Structures are given as C-alpha cells and as structure tokens.
Structure 1
C-alpha cells in the first residue's frame, strides 16, 4: 500500500478482509492515525475509507470507542434458478415514472484487466459503457465487456460495422422486435449468473452518476456463458443505494 492509494482502494481492501473473516465481527480496527502511518496514506484517506465501510453497514465508528466491525463473513443468499420461456418479452430496464433514456458513452478495445479475467474473459476485449437516465438525471452506469471475437459477430445479411463495435455517436443498431440481441448475433447463450451486492462505486461509475468516488452503490454483475461454459460477456450495472433492484420472471 502506498501514498497513492485512494480511499476507494483502501475501503475495498478492508471490505475484502471483513468478507474473508480476517477482521471478525466485533473486532476494533486501528485508529485513523495509526492505520494512516501503517499504510503510508493520509488520515483523510483512512477516514474516508472508514466512512464508506460505515455507509455499507460493515463498521460502526463511535467517539471514544473507535471503529468496530459490525459484519460477519460474507454469505451468499441464492434465490434459486429460473428458466423463463421467452426472454424476448423482458425489458432490460425501466423506471417507475419519468422519461427514460440511455446513451453509449464509451467503446474501446483493450487487453482484459485482471477483474475481467476473473469473470472468465481473457485476451483482447471490447468494453462498452452506457449511461441510463430518468428525466435527464443519470441513474445507472452499465459496463459491458466481451471477447473481441464475440463483439465482432454480425447478424445474417448485415453490412458494415458489427453492432457491438459501433462507435460512440453512431446510429443505434437493434434487432427486430421480439428478438434478443444474443439470438440476433448468433451467440450460443447457455446460462447467466447474477450477483447483486452493495459495493464502493468504481471511479468511472461514481463520476458518471455525479457522486463522490467510493460512494456505496448497488453493483449488479451478470456473467453470461455459452453452452460449453465459456463466458460470452459480462455486464456490471451500478446504481445508488436509494434505488430499488427488481427482476421480472415471465412464466
């Protein structure tokens, strides 16, 4: 850990320690000054990291008693497995009221970072970012990553740039009504794993949503795999904690 460590990075490290049982329930964490000296960071960085953990309900800070861990080891609450008969009838997102809009803000090709490799995607990837708004206010940041060879697929008879490689500002390309994008592009979709958690926001999501870096938010990770178990693509949707995460199952 160096002086260049951000509050977000420090909070993430401490959170991983709590989730793994390294810092047990009821454990008193080091004081702000002591941890700052130990890690070679400013006291402001430590205080901000502790504030983030407190906002997530992982620690409690009280004057005179310090910062105490208030969470146990991480546990997964699996809700079950579902096989809707017609995924095409579902909408990817909606709002209870207000004017809904979204736009692509970034499309780029790059080597897969480590966190993407952890999702089963390696080599050259394509990264796409979309911002979703209600009444013009940003409410969701959606990151989609996929292997380049998956992004380069085109529908039968399509001419021009593959839809997943269309640059920012290009006219949107959509499948015919009632057809999923995956079916339109000929992807062999096997299953999708969904992980919903409360996490410090990544810097890009925080900036897009207009909140402080490392502010807590919902993180919805979808990992879609093909019939042989390889990862086709993954999406990470970030939303502020005061929002509600919903899902419809048809049939």
Structure 2
C-alpha cells in the first residue's frame, strides 16, 4: 500500500536533483552569505551538470525563492513535531501562534547569516511574482488551527485575514532583523509582542488577559501603576 502512495520514479529523481541543488546552495551561502555565487559554481558544488540548475529552477532568484519555501516548510514540520501542549490554554489559536513564532525565529537563528541571505533575497524586484506570500500565509493558518480562543463575533473576519496579517507581521520583524535594527535576541520577543497586539483585536475575554500580560512583558513596555 505504501508503495502505491510513492511518487513515480521520475518525480522522485526530480525531487532528489532539486534537493541536491538546494543543499549545495545552502553550503555556498554558509561560506559566503552575500549570495554572490555563480550558477556554474552551484552546479559544481552540487556535482551536477552545468545546465541542471537552470533546468530545474530557471535562474538564481528562483533558487533563493525555493530555499525560502524550504525554510518555511521546515518551520511547519517542527511545529507539527513539537511536544504536546502543556494544558488546554496552549492549544488556543493564540497559544499556537506564539509557539510557532518561537519555532520560526529559532530556526532562522540557527544559521542567521544564511537565513538573512535567503529571506533578504525576497526583497529583490522580479519580473514575475513569487509564491512566498501564500506559502507564509499557509504557515500561520497552520498555527491558527481551528481558531479556538478567538471571539465568535470576529471569527469569520479572523478566518479571512488573520493568517495573512501574521505573515506580514513576521516578515516585518525579519526585515528589521536583516537590516541590523533588531538583534538576534530581540527577534523572537519582537514578533511575540507584535503578534499579541494583532491578536488582541480578535481574542475572547480570557485570551485578552493573556495577551495583555504578554504585551506588558515586552522590553520597554510601561508597567501599570500599583
């Protein structure tokens, strides 16, 4: 039965070749995060023919797009494999989003220079739009799950727009990090604070209390008078 579910051999070979090329591109980025490698150097690093990267991706920018998509897929996979939530509150949409934020920023920080090169390449103008925005939106849809913990009155609106807004929030934090305006240690807390402010408008009453506590813990946040 498992054999019937496997992709055809030709597709498996195609996926394997793409994987070799993307792995080689990551190695080159670890050596020089400027992403100033040639397609010839990439083919040599991957031990494939010169035309193979062109045949599978078309150009270098598409390779960077594919690396970014693979990075997002790794975030999603780590989220799926995370340990069971500690208590029912953690399985609300808000808890899941905050967990995803920790996983996503943590993965970026494992190889910060490579991550900056990959994500930073998305800011380059292209003749054809990429597919990273919907891919990122799908990541935050996964985190939101069944939208538990969001107020019933605004849940339809949340289902339409919240994943996309979280994608924008995450990308904004990462952009400031790439520009050096957020330090490594600030990236995760910055996203958690921004996401909490965003989620506040959709949360039910118990979750609003949790979010306000999260915002109050943010660096530089004013504390209520006692």
TM-score band w.r.t. shorter chain: under 0.3
- TM-score w.r.t. length of structure 1: 0.25
- TM-score w.r.t. length of structure 2: 0.27
Which structure shows the higher helix fraction? Answer: 2
